[in-house]
A and B are shown apart, each in its own frame.
Chain A
């Protein structure tokens, strides 16, 4: 399982790194980035889903 952000869609609303700071960070412009390789455990999957459900631009993708 893996989470990723589509940088073309991300506009920097900042919902992902606020809700799941262990999984996401921000760059100099304030856009979201995935920390590390984005591989998810059962626990972090929940958090990734929460971030996904709050992204107004639908920029977060989870491969299960």
Chain B
């Protein structure tokens, strides 16, 4: 990490890696929404942060003035280094129209409800196995001993990677997402092992095609032609990165909530029909994902003097707490009936993995509360939150109550 002074005023110098933001961003966002709905910073080369539902929606739906070429904020000057739009390094998340739609359509069938629902027994037995291993413990770590293991196992299975490589997987994710504050050169170096691993997997799948996502991507045709290898590679990396920290954060945050809200826990245990509403409220209230855009050209936008290559930090989690869009926005309502939350984004980049993420989250919570109908935080002050654009609890000691 580069040493930076703590932020003094988030309206004029926001930083999503600042300790205060990492620990508890909600009061910061409430404050900004009231006095400066599009905040500015000079950090990371300059950027803007909309905190209202209206502002986030408008930018998410505006692919004319903003590009998705780089969606993770870093210290590199994006205009110079990034692979050009419309394809970008990791299609479709880093792609703009019209190419975006082609890249997205390719992967959607693999993530549609049909194939994803078929994974439910596998996800459930994975959760049950993890809980079996923790049997008899008085304190279990909901982050490092449970939530953390679920998504990598599912994704590596989808991609057709060896099960033994799951630990390696989580490391890769941290290199990419945790490295936001590293100098560009160091980020490139740290990326090396990931590149080597994926290349080896692609070669193995070329030699031995099988029924998995990697072989699907290698064989699928667009306009009579197979995908360029860089496209296959980029999409595999995307699924790895987009599918792990995200779901793990959502599962962890939901457990964290239940551990400190005995009334909600009791209701969920006794009224399983609340589950579909509870899942959406977990996603709204603790939305883990914030994505970035780049400003395409100098312009006046939402009253702000934006410059070419300024960052936009799209605050989906902040939009979810906007009282203009949600009744009692800062209250967690486990059976909230009306919930148009933006946890999975909005518009053409809607999370392609949302069906899978919901499946993982639901089954992980169902199995945990079935095994442990009563639990609490073992040490609230020991809970730590991941910094950066994917936010969730990492260390989460939970005391099981008998």
Which residues of A does B touch, CB under 8 Å? 11-15, 17-19, 26-30, 50, 53-58
Contact = CB atoms under 8 A, between A and B. Distances in A.
A54 B105 CA distance: 24
Interface residues of B, number: 23
B348 interface: yes
Contacts of B344: 13, 56
Contacts, number: 54
Given A13-B354, A29-B105, A56 B342 contact: yes
B112 A30 contact: yes
A29 B280 CA distance: 22
B55 to A, nearest CB: 16
A27 to B, nearest CB: 8
B271 to A, nearest CB: 17
Contacts of B105: 29
B338 interface: yes
B280 to A, nearest CB: 7
Interface of B is mostly: helix
Contact of B340 (A11, A12, A26, A53): A53
B86 to A, nearest CB: 18
Contacts of B280: 15, 54
Contacts of B342: 56
B371 interface: no
27 contacts: A11-B346, A11-B350, A12-B350, A12-B354, A13-B344, A13-B350, A14-B354, A14-B355, A14-B358, A15-B280, A28-B108, A28-B109, A30-B108, A30-B111, A30-B112, A30-B113, A50-B337, A53-B338, A53-B340, A54-B280, A54-B338, A54-B339, A54-B340, A55-B340, A56-B340, A56-B342, A57-B346
Contacts of B114: 26
Nearest to A17: B113
Contact of B348 (A11, A14, A27): A11
**Closest 6 CB pairs between A and B?**
A30-B112, A11-B350, A53-B338, A29-B108, A56-B340, A26-B113
